[in-house]
A and B are shown apart, each in its own frame.
Chain A
Amino acid sequence: MQRLTSTDQLQSLQRRLHDQAGPGCPTLVIPAGTCGRASGAMAVIEAARDTVRERGLTDSIRLRVTGCHGFCQMEPSVLVEPERTFYPQVDAESIVRIISAVAEGKVLDDLLPTDPDTGEPVRCQEALPFFRTQVRTILGRSEHIDPTRVETSLAAGAYSALAKALERGAPSWVLDEVQASGIRGRGGAGFPTGVKWGMLAKQPGPHGKFLVCNADEGDPGAYMDRSVLEGNPHSIIEGMLLGAFATGATEGIMYVRNEYPLAIEHLNLALDQARALGLLGNDILGSGFSFDIAMVKGAGAFVCGEETALIRSIEGKMGEPRQRPPFPIQKGIDGKPTCINNVETWANIPIIIGRGADEFAKVGTSGNAGTKIFSLVGKIRNTGLVEVPMGTPIRAILEEIGGGPADTAPIKAVQTGGPSGGCIPADRFDLQIDYDSLAAAGSIMGSGGMIVLDEHTCMVDLARYFMRFLKDESCGKCFACRKGTQRMFEILDDIASGDGTPEHLDLLEELALVVKDTAMCGLGQTAPNPVLSTLRYFRDEYRAHIDHKQCPAGVCKALITYSIDADACKGCHACVRACPADAIAGEPKEPHRIDPAACIRCGACVTACKFQAITVA
């Protein structure tokens, strides 16, 4: 592709590509992000390619492989344009049927998802409860883009916000727009992006200034950044270009964790394509503005998501934080002013500039503008990535989009913000999701993880899980975080093992508050949140573990026993065959018995029993 030397050339290329891609023949859109590939999207794509080729349909049916659309549970899925029919959980056989149907202009009702209320098949993606109330400003764009082909990005309007800014020629205008939009950092702390940029713009930078895209997403159960990186890498490059134009930054760095190979592949490809088109490098679009982005791969330390640790990691040193001040905006990489923003923040910038700050600020609530992507996982019927306006109540996300509990057990709480976040109990589900409300409720927005917990989740066990993660991921530099997380884990482990005492509870709370107060960086300061929020809302569960040596959720192995209800047991032997510890005995057709000494409490018998005869208490 030829290097573009003016915004006019870019716009005419965009128009040409848009017309070429415009409505014509039906298109099968198959999402193949990491999530889709894990569930078999590549086999579906291969089958689709072969079928289209064999039947000579290459002129009448198009195929587009994109990044994740969000409904990961239903992948591999197929979206048929222009009708926007959504086929969930497609396999290599059903895709052949779908292609035949599309060629004949038909819809396969038996493969369509059904409406949970009416039981009728749903013909259009937007009519599905999962998609109905979402505002998919960022994720929606991934549907139109094949991340490996820059043509599709350009046809979908990539870099038009950059052209708009370059035509205006005033960096201060971009800065004002971002400030006026009210966008706050999507990485978790919610610092106003415009203010941060304003500070960078004011910093003297005789030796250059850095912009960094923080793509070191490490929260267990959260992957919204990955899907944006994989599905729409050009939006992040464009966001960083606009940031550089506004703040006078000279160098850009993408800090991506090495565990995201597909994201790295797509980003590298996108960077090369942008350079070839003259959208990165010297004299971008003939405007005299120069900026380039380098890729740095992180080795997978959770703490490197923290700004100062990330900077040290980029410098090639051990990834551990340092006390601020000086802030990265004053002294960052190699001592130069550095502004670090999250992937999702960067992806929002082209939208702000393209649509205008006022338009952006209309979505969400005042002080919390725009949309936010959440990764909705856990004990919920619909799992996947959900994009909603800020200020949406938790209940709306769980019930309307999530479709309620996955099982018969009711939802007890939702854990937001990953290991640094906290739990919100069911009686507070009317809480609007924004930075301030979540912080007031003892949790944080974090990067957007949302783990749904039901009555079968033990809150002590959950706190222990997160504390195990944090004690392993603490860098160990500051004593409060290193020893504090270890000791909190130790106490939680004691409580879960039935060795807890009432004094343990006081000590745990006292320690958690001190670690929150004294730790050096964000990781340590937020590490006690899982403990403090579960203590705040679920102290009863802790007390049950300590006073009655019981685990109400039936999770903590040391405190539960499995037994067989003699009346319900039919003596079918299924549990005996399933038991890996040979702990179950009994004659055929006679009620069986579990030997509690041999039982390892794995729960295999519960799954195997067809008569619900095994009880956990």
Chain B
Amino acid sequence: MVNLVINGLPVRVEEGTTVLEAAQFMGFPIPTLCHNEGLTPYGACRLCVVEIGDAPKSKLVSSCTYPATEGLHVRTGSKRVVRARKMILELLLASCPQSKTIQDLAAAHGVRQQRFRQEYEDCILCGLCVRMCAEQMAAKAIGFRGRGERRTIGTPFNVQSDVCRLCGACMYICPACELRCTYNEPEKAVCGGCENISPPCIAKEGFNDLMCYMDPCVACEIEHEREETR
């Protein structure tokens, strides 16, 4: 067993556990896009970054690939982590605003602006489909090609693969194309839809002691943020 400290809370986990698993087990929410329990960690989306170690030598690492080690100090929501996460989400919105998964994440993390030139790409190259195809379907029909901005996912030479069984697992697991955001202003990256939801927990004033079980609730968080800025 390994002992570590996450957000000040001592945690005891089995050896071989990743920081992400340990944090999720303790109920600390860490957003991910390229992680799936059934697949090997990849560390590509960089959303799950957490801060480890103590200042001034602390650093950000992807929690999905970092093993829980004895005495490790982890912060999942420090200023540095939040700043990084928001920027990554802004970059994601700038490239792939049609994904509901990304819009929801952006809303939940208070990303209210997108300052880059808008693109409309379909794929965020998280690699979930490649790993799904190789590890769970044992087909290895698709893979990465090229590098940098020319990196794509597909079959060799772009021809119908002999080993592809058309099982659809790649489509099932895709976080970008699985759900389309149905927002009505496609020229704007940040969807207005979710922002206009009123908190579902009825008139809160009369029930101040009421325990809300919807956590995190996007509508509530947006409301809080508005109050703060006011």
> A interface vs B, CB < 8 Å?
301, 303, 318, 320, 322-323, 325, 471-480, 482-487, 490, 503, 507, 510-511, 514, 517-520
Contact = CB atoms under 8 A, between A and B. Distances in A.
Interface string B107-130: 000000001110000001111000
B83 interface: yes
Interface in B138-184: 144, 146-151
B67 A325 contact: yes
A509 to B, nearest CB: 11
B77 to A, nearest CB: 15
Contacts of B59: 517
20 contacts: A322-B43, A323-B43, A323-B66, A471-B148, A473-B147, A474-B148, A476-B148, A476-B150, A476-B151, A479-B92, A479-B125, A480-B91, A483-B94, A484-B91, A511-B91, A514-B88, A517-B84, A518-B46, A518-B88, A520-B43
B87 interface: yes
Contacts, number: 95
B138 to A, nearest CB: 18
Nearest to A491: B116
A514 B115 contact: no
A487 B92 CA distance: 11
Which DSSP category, helix, strand, loop or mixed, fits chain B's interface? Answer: mixed
B149 A323 contact: no
Given A477-B44, A479-B124, A517 B60 contact: yes
A473 B146 CA distance: 10
B184 to A, nearest CB: 26
| Most A Cβ at <10 Å: residue of B91, B147, B149, B150 | B147
A506 B46 CA distance: 22
Contacts of B80: 517
A520 B148 contact: no
B61 interface: yes
Contacts of A490: 116-117
Contacts of B94: 483, 487
B115 A507 contact: yes
B18 to A, nearest CB: 10
Contacts of A484: 91
Nearest to A485: B148
B62 interface: yes
Contacts of B67: 325
Contact of A474 (B43, B62, B88, B147): B147
A518 B83 CA distance: 11
A484 B44 CA distance: 13
| Most A Cβ at <10 Å: residue of B59, B117, B149 | B149
A101 to B, nearest CB: 54
A472 B148 CA distance: 5
| Most A Cβ at <10 Å: residue of B60, B91, B95 | B91
Given A325-B67, A507-B115, A479 B45 contact: yes
Interface in B59-84: 59-62, 65-67, 80, 83-84
B49 interface: yes
A478 B87 CA distance: 14
A68 to B, nearest CB: 31
Interface residues of B, number: 35
Contact of B91 (A323, A487, A519): A487
Interface in B23-69: 43-46, 49, 59-62, 65-67
Given A478-B44, A479-B124, A514 B65 contact: no
A483 B87 contact: no
Contacts of B60: 517-518
A538 to B, nearest CB: 23
A517 B52 CA distance: 12
Contacts of A322: 43, 65
A525 to B, nearest CB: 9
A500 to B, nearest CB: 13
A481 to B, nearest CB: 9
Given A476-B150, A478-B46, A519-B46, 14 more contacts: A303-B147, A320-B147, A323-B61, A325-B67, A472-B147, A475-B148, A476-B147, A479-B45, A482-B149, A483-B95, A510-B87, A511-B87, A514-B84, A520-B43
B90 to A, nearest CB: 9
A492 B29 CA distance: 35
Contacts of A301: 147
Nearest to A319: B147
B65 to A, nearest CB: 4
A409 B37 CA distance: 60
A482 B151 CA distance: 9
Contacts of A486: 149
Contact of B115 (A478, A482, A503): A503
Contacts of B43: 322-323, 478, 520
B125 A487 contact: no
Contacts of B146: 476
| Most B Cβ at <10 Å: residue of A483, A503, A507 | A483
A479 B94 CA distance: 12
A482 B125 CA distance: 10
Contact of B148 (A318, A482, A487): A482
A483 B90 CA distance: 11
A508 to B, nearest CB: 10
A473 B80 CA distance: 27
B109 to A, nearest CB: 14
Given A483-B91, A490-B116, A476 B149 contact: yes
Contact of A323 (B62, B144, B151): B62
Nearest to B152: A476
A484 B45 CA distance: 12
A472 B44 CA distance: 18
Contacts of B144: 318, 320, 476-477
Contact of A520 (B46, B95, B115, B149): B46
B80 to A, nearest CB: 7
Contacts of B87: 510-511, 514
A248 B57 CA distance: 33
Nearest to A507: B115
A323 B65 contact: yes
A273 B229 CA distance: 74
Given A325-B67, A487-B94, A519-B46, A514 B83 contact: yes
B147 A479 contact: no
Contacts of A485: 148
B148 A479 contact: no
A486 B95 CA distance: 11
A484 B147 CA distance: 14
Contact of A518 (B65, B84, B125, B151): B84
